[in-house]
Chain A
């Protein structure tokens, strides 16, 4: 299968799974922003998603996308380090025009995954997971399972968690500024005119996404 046996195929898997995750971030942000305008509205979304079959299927597809993206990140990095050879350069310099993020995507990705683990523990494990456990007949407290606002207030008013989340969004921003246009380039939708445009679109989009998440976190830390 050329998707896994050729270098462009493997990169295409990274690209498509990455774009899928970008799409997910867009949905996630749209939901979060609701919480600023209406806390009841946000909890209605939590209720609507909950552990309904479509939300569970969505979560599974999402997890598959994450796993594919992460597994290939490590696999490709391993191959790339091998291709670099055994002797490392004694002196290295980052050439002009090469973004720092582009050369540190794995490190940034690891920070994003660590943040994701914290986030899943703080929200997913207390919301969808609790509902699933409840449906399975386990003895769990479901009082806050669909009360996302309760958890946002609880965590974001804690300065340590707030800073951790902001660092997470920062790493995500760097990851997206390279990842978005790079995914387009890998698919082949690029030329001399669009190269600069895609890079600009990446920067704008990454800023909208990450600033959006940060604004919601800060809103619950200081305003709500």
Chain B
């Protein structure tokens, strides 16, 4: 038998980037504990549409924790109270009957609210465009074993590359700093031989873009790592600092 719960939702509603937002309270009854958090929001929206009200706008896409689109700040935690999962992987069995759940958008100057719970994360794309790539001549791909890479480096690069760019690090950071994201994107390339060629230029360009877009200064609280759905380590931030400082000292 399905277990169901009755919950109260406090949802941030904001019509546009320039308009003031406020919380609206909704009651939702008989929510299956087997449903995912986003399915619960779908049910809420269906209820709102049936009442001739505007549905709540929120980002989502793959709903299996790999695309990085979902982005809700639930009860004081980006991606909700569970660790190392995205919002779409959060399930209603994590909540109790009668709970009040507060849902907010990412709040950061770098991520302005588009509407309700949806924020504009193109800042991350701009940071990637500034240097989060390697330049190679197109042509037939060479044999994968042609460039030997130590297992340790390969693993560290892969761990950094698990970042899905959802923005939870910025949302969790009291300083609105994007350092965990930038450091993961710098690290995944800086650790590998193919990425080392442009490492200095990349670290400088991506950090300059991050600063320009109005993200804050990292104070090493570690909130980003704790809330990251992929568990990306803040030791990547140390690597970014290292790459950036040595690049600047060589100038």
- Cβ of B108 under 8 Å from chain A: yes
Q: How far is the CB of B33 from chain A (nearest CB, A)?
A: 22
Selected from A7, A88, A91, A95, the residue in CB contact (under 8 A) with B218 is A7
8 A Cβ contacts from B142-188 to A: 172, 174-177, 179
Stretch of A110-118, A125-133, A164-172, A181-189 that contacts chain B: A181-189
- Cβ of B38 under 8 Å from chain A: no
Chain B interface size, under 10 / 10 to 19 / 20 to 34 / 35 or more: 35 or more
Bound together, the chains give a CA A48 to CA B175 distance in angstroms of 45
Bound together, the chains give a CA A33 to CA B226 distance in angstroms of 40
Given A9-B248, A82-B109, A83-B176, A95:B214 Cβ within 8 A: no
- Cβ of A98 under 8 Å from chain B: yes
Bound together, the chains give a CA A90 to CA B11 distance in angstroms of 11
B73-110 contact mask (Cβ, 8 Å, vs A): 1 or 0? 10111000001000000000000000000101001111
Q: Which single residue of chain A is at the shortest CB-CB distance from B244?
A: A8
Residues of B within 8 A of A102 (CB): 219-222
Q: Which single residue of chain A is at the shortest CB-CB distance from B210?
A: A7
Q: A97-B222, A181-B220, A186-B241 are in contact. List 10 more A-B contacts (CB 8 A).
A: A76-B219, A80-B175, A80-B176, A80-B177, A83-B217, A84-B107, A85-B108, A91-B102, A102-B221, A185-B241
Q: Provide a sorted-by-A list of 16 A–B residue pairs whose CB atoms are within 8 angstroms.
A: A79-B216, A82-B214, A84-B175, A84-B216, A88-B107, A90-B104, A96-B226, A185-B237, A186-B220, A186-B241, A187-B242, A187-B245, A188-B245, A189-B242, A191-B235, A191-B238
Listed in ascending order, the chain A residues whose CB lies under 8 Å from chain B are 2, 6-12, 76, 79-80, 82-99, 102-103, 105, 178, 181-182, 185-192, 195
Listed in ascending order, the chain B residues whose CB lies under 8 Å from chain A are 10, 21, 23, 73, 75-77, 83, 102, 104, 107-113, 172, 174-177, 179, 207-208, 210-211, 214-223, 225-227, 233-235, 237-246, 248
